[in-house]
A and B are shown apart, each in its own frame.
Chain A
Amino acid sequence: MNWLNWLDQFIEVLVALAAAPLLLGWVNMCRAWLQNRSAPSLLQPYRGIRKLLHKDAVLAHNASSLFRIAPYIIFGTMVAAAAMIPMLGTRLPFTAAADAIALVGLFAAARMFLSLAAMDVGTAFGTLGARREMMVGFLAEPTLLMVIFVASLMTATTALPLIAENLAAAQLAIHPSLLFTAVAFAMVMLAENARIPVDNPATHLELTMIHEAMLLEYSARHLALMEWAAALKLFNYACIGLALFVPWGLASNGDPIRLGLAIVLLAGKLAVIGAGLALIETLSAKLRVFRAPEFLATAFLLAVLGLLVRLLQVAR
């Protein structure tokens, strides 16, 4: 059933592309509800992207070609990452080419291009944002790796679909190591996706921005791609989290009915994750920038604890 697996792969990327802005819209909607505001439409992120695609792009005089191609590279990276994450099924032909460590590398590559593009025009804000993004990144990446290593240790593979498949097939038990790493992962997810408490996606204050500061010079289709890529990143992270900690319900073969079921189940899981994200963002204030390393260090510590617990269990 090789062609079915390829179909599965294809549908998965399409679903990720189409549903990523929806997840963002859902988070924003929940946030508005929790703050007693009337919520924007669920489709607002799509409207934003459509609006931007209809505009003429404005580039700074001194923008280099790097600045122009960065949005395509970053968007492409996020699409490639989506292809490697088991969202609907676990038989993804694409995973033969890359494993979870490569996935972390893809995110790092996107970050590098984003930061370079931000510094390219030479405005103070872009550099400011790039600097802070690197500070967040160099602490978040090891934590993400550590989280994946714990799952890898339990399943003896670094391929995400196999990890998910093995975890789902394993006997249902409470794994303390996974509990620690789940908290660590949630913290990394907040930091990596520029959410409160590390960054504030809704702010208009240039001096406090991290992610938004890097996008200030972008307009029209470039900005649309950047925003879409950011939505995809959030979607990807949510799906990594699901694959590691709630892996049940993924289609293990290309069966269309199981695939359809998996889509419904994914929607349900993402709705819960989105609501949880909105809850965290409403309850917390933004951290002082220099508290972000402490926040991420805590995440790293938790991931290491998870790893130690796992090793101790194995040793016993």
Chain B
Amino acid sequence: MLTPLLSQARPLPGAPGAHAAQVDISHWRSVLGDVAAGGGRLVSLWAETPADTPARLHAAVIVDSFPTADGSAHTQTGLLQLSATLAADQQRFPSVHEIFPSALRMERAIHDLHGLRSDAWDTRSWLRHTSWSDQRYPLRDAQMPIPTTEAPADAYEFVRVDGDGVHEIAVGPVHAGIIEPGHFRFSVVGEKVLRLEQHLGYVHKGIERRFQELPALEGHRLAARISGDSAVAFSWAYCQALEACAGVTLPPRAACLRALALELERCANHLGDLGALGNDAGFAFALSQFGRLKERLLRLTAATLGQRYLFDYVVPGGTAVDPEATALKTLAASMPLLAAEVQRLHGILDEHAGVRDRFSGAGIVTPALALQLGLAGLAGRASGQAFDLRIDLPCPPYGQLAPKKALHPGGDVAARVAVRFDELLESCRLIGDIASQLPAGDHRVEVPVPAADLIGLGCIEGWRGPVLIALRTAKDGRIARCHPHDPSWHNWPVLEHAVIGNIVPDFPLINKSFNLSYSGHDL
């Protein structure tokens, strides 16, 4: 089913290796089955319900078996957007959650937002709690008002675990610390976790609906705010998709500056996480040391790119600011020093018996389970899933930068810490390289208003994993549909598996080692 589809797929500008192909809805499941059988991975699943045309179902997948242009037997990796049109009165679509387990929650979200139901067993709402009626669908119903009234109590049906001595611990959505809201329902015997069930959607803000009210040339600002820790990744992905629609080629200097911003964002997040992981193991020394390094990095970022957190740095056609040569020089000179300090702290954390005891063996996701559940990004690489967009599907300038892939087969908290250290040191090198060899030229070019009904895909390896933006333009330079996707969609369900058999007090540490986004997931 898949092979003829791949040779007919239409290449898309934008994300490297992007293609689009139409699928008959009756073949939906078999095509995606072929994708999985060929070692492909699901990136995202979303729907579109325009007012005047039939509903469409889309899936973005990464496939290794694209034929090469020269027609040889070799294949190449590519990003494929599969689209299927539903019949006019069709409200049900075939579920692919048995092929890609992570699809289940995305299909439930499609029902909440579009009213299209998959034929999967789980028909509970996912993103919709009780703040709006189950008869209204925000992305189908343009007239639907923004819910304002206080929501009635939610009677979400958690899966009950029965047995002698089994009891439930309900945690959240309000937590004791300043963290995002999410509900965790543990079924435990004593301290041992038998089952964890998550309930997310508390920070659903209607981002996808909001995109449809914006001019395409302004969407990058909203994209940057989908998940604050991945601002550069999301806004770059959005701009990549938009520039593809508008037919703009990015000047080399702009691409390098975006990569600089992305790596600075990755470094800042890894530094913050490593400190927080130490702190969650009761080792506050790590928090203050990594906090100090993160602050230094943020100040360097502000001195070079003008902002501590890079919310509005990536703009259509390039970047907002062109850094000064002196600032770049300081940045390039500072990175080896930062890397040396990180290495020293790495040594301390590695040698500390107490910290090691907490990290190793906690929250194991075996490579086999990671493959089955589609664990993505950083957490995936810590469970032997060797996929990194910067290396496997590089967009400029990553082809020349040749970053080294971090990979660890352990799958426990220690492995996720090790991958963070490896990536952090590699990003320090990349930042130094980019800052010292920045090509001359424009840092920004004009982007014309894109024509109507064009599609563009943007896919960027953020610090957490691959971030996708799928864009369709409307007339008058507006957005018809914009679907942002965060890797947390794949990794949240894996976290439920990672804690099985662990003890309750180890959950915060395991959770932190994934550090998944609520905002980027709830949209």
Residues of A within 8 A of B (CB): 31, 34-37, 124-125, 128, 196-197, 200, 202-208, 216, 282, 284-291
Query: Which of B282, B358, B508 sits near A207, CB closer than 8 Å?
Result: B508
**Cross-chain contact A289 with B289 (CB below 8 angstroms):** no
A290-B288 in contact given A203-B282, A205-B176, A206-B175 (Cβ < 8 Å): no
Q: Which residue of B lies closest to A216 (CB)?
A: B176
A285-B354 in contact given A207-B504, A208-B505, A290-B191 (Cβ < 8 Å): yes
**Stretch of B41-49, B163-171, B215-223, B364-372 with 4 or more beta carbons under 8 angstroms from chain A:** B163-171
Q: Nearest-CB distance from A232 to chain B (Å)?
A: 24
A205-B191 in contact given A35-B288, A288-B357, A288-B503 (Cβ < 8 Å): no
Tell me whether B273 is interfacial, beta carbon within 8 Å: no
Docked complex Cα distance between A41 and B169 (Å): 37
Q: Is the interface of A mostly helix, strand, loop or mixed?
A: loop
A208-B285 in contact given A287-B354, A288-B503 (Cβ < 8 Å): no
Q: Nearest-CB distance from B515 to chain A (Å)?
A: 14
Docked complex Cα distance between A197 and B282 (Å): 8
Query: What residues of B have a CB within 8 angstroms of the CB of A31 in the complex?
Result: 284
Query: What residues of B have a CB within 8 angstroms of the CB of A128 in the complex?
Result: 169, 504
**Cross-chain contact A206 with B354 (CB below 8 angstroms):** no
**Cross-chain contact A289 with B177 (CB below 8 angstroms):** no
Tell me whether B280 is interfacial, beta carbon within 8 Å: yes
Query: Which of A124, A196, A288 sits near B505, CB closer than 8 Å?
Result: A288
**Cross-chain contact B281 with A286 (CB below 8 angstroms):** yes
Docked complex Cα distance between A203 and B232 (Å): 31
Q: Nearest-CB distance from A29 to chain B (Å)?
A: 14
Query: What residues of B have a CB within 8 angstroms of the CB of A124 in the complex?
Result: 167-171
Q: Can you report 8 A-B residue pairs in the complex whose CB atoms are below 8 A from each other?
A: A124-B169, A202-B284, A203-B280, A204-B175, A207-B171, A216-B176, A285-B278, A287-B354
Docked complex Cα distance between A122 and B506 (Å): 23
Query: Which of A204, A285, A289 sits near B355, CB closer than 8 Å?
Result: A285
Docked complex Cα distance between A8 and B484 (Å): 72
**Cross-chain contact A36 with B288 (CB below 8 angstroms):** yes
**Cross-chain contact B288 with A207 (CB below 8 angstroms):** no
Docked complex Cα distance between A34 and B288 (Å): 10
Tell me whether B283 is interfacial, beta carbon within 8 Å: yes
**Cross-chain contact A284 with B282 (CB below 8 angstroms):** yes
Docked complex Cα distance between A200 and B288 (Å): 16
Interface residues in B145-187 by Cβ distance below 8 A to A read: 167-171, 175-177
Tell me whether B210 is interfacial, beta carbon within 8 Å: no
**Cross-chain contact B508 with A205 (CB below 8 angstroms):** yes
**Cross-chain contact A204 with B177 (CB below 8 angstroms):** yes
Q: Is the interface of B mostly helix, strand, loop or mixed?
A: helix
**Cross-chain contact B358 with A36 (CB below 8 angstroms):** no
Q: Which residue of B lies closest to A291 (CB)?
A: B357
A35-B284 in contact given A197-B354, A284-B354, A286-B354 (Cβ < 8 Å): yes
Query: What residues of B have a CB within 8 angstroms of the CB of A282 in the complex?
Result: 284-285
Tell me whether B202 is interfacial, beta carbon within 8 Å: no
Docked complex Cα distance between A97 and B55 (Å): 84
Q: Nearest-CB distance from B354 to chain A (Å)?
A: 3
Tell me whether B100 is interfacial, beta carbon within 8 Å: no
Per-residue interface assignment for chain B, residues 271 to 295, with 1 indicating a CB less than 8 Å from any chain A CB and 0 otherwise: 0000000101111110111001000
**Cross-chain contact B358 with A286 (CB below 8 angstroms):** yes
Docked complex Cα distance between A196 and B354 (Å): 11
Tell me whether B507 is interfacial, beta carbon within 8 Å: yes
Tell me whether B74 is interfacial, beta carbon within 8 Å: no
Query: What residues of A have a CB within 8 angstroms of the CB of B504 in the complex?
Result: 128, 207
Q: Which residue of A lies closest to B280 (CB)?
A: A205
**Cross-chain contact B191 with A206 (CB below 8 angstroms):** no
Docked complex Cα distance between A207 and B392 (Å): 39
Q: Nearest-CB distance from B506 to chain A (Å)?
A: 7
Docked complex Cα distance between A288 and B175 (Å): 22
Query: Which of A204, A207, A284, A286 sits near B507, CB closer than 8 Å?
Result: A207
Given contacts A284-B283, A284-B354, A289-B191, 7 further A-B contacts (CB under 8 A): A31-B284, A36-B292, A200-B282, A205-B176, A206-B176, A216-B176, A287-B354
**Cross-chain contact B352 with A37 (CB below 8 angstroms):** no
Q: Which residue of A lies closest to B361 (CB)?
A: A288
**Cross-chain contact B352 with A285 (CB below 8 angstroms):** yes
Interface residues in B451-483 by Cβ distance below 8 A to A read: none
**Cross-chain contact A289 with B284 (CB below 8 angstroms):** no
Docked complex Cα distance between A36 and B142 (Å): 55
Q: Which residue of A lies closest to B502 (CB)?
A: A288
Docked complex Cα distance between A307 and B353 (Å): 30
Q: Which residue of B lies closest to A31 (CB)?
A: B284
Interface residues in B299-340 by Cβ distance below 8 A to A read: none
Query: What residues of B have a CB within 8 angstroms of the CB of A284 in the complex?
Result: 282-283, 354
Query: Which of B167, B176, B191, B282 sits near A286, CB closer than 8 Å?
Result: B282
Q: Which residue of A lies closest to B354 (CB)?
A: A285
**Cross-chain contact B508 with A208 (CB below 8 angstroms):** yes
A204-B503 in contact given A35-B288, A124-B170 (Cβ < 8 Å): no
Q: Nearest-CB distance from A179 to chain B (Å)?
A: 23
Query: What residues of A have a CB within 8 angstroms of the CB of B175 in the complex?
Result: 204, 206
Q: Nearest-CB distance from B391 to chain A (Å)?
A: 34
Query: What residues of B have a CB within 8 angstroms of the CB of A205 in the complex?
Result: 176-177, 280, 508
Docked complex Cα distance between A37 and B290 (Å): 12
Q: Nearest-CB distance from A194 to chain B (Å)?
A: 12
Most chain-A Cβ atoms within 10 A of its Cβ — which of B283, B285, B504, B505?
B505
Closest CB pairs A-B (n = 10): A286-B282, A285-B354, A204-B177, A285-B283, A205-B508, A124-B169, A208-B505, A204-B176, A35-B288, A285-B355
Per-residue interface assignment for chain B, residues 483 to 523, with 1 indicating a CB less than 8 Å from any chain A CB and 0 otherwise: 00000000000000000000111111000000000000000
Q: Nearest-CB distance from A54 to chain B (Å)?
A: 22
Docked complex Cα distance between A205 and B507 (Å): 10
**Cross-chain contact A37 with B288 (CB below 8 angstroms):** yes
Docked complex Cα distance between A196 and B508 (Å): 17
Query: What residues of B have a CB within 8 angstroms of the CB of A206 in the complex?
Result: 171, 175-176
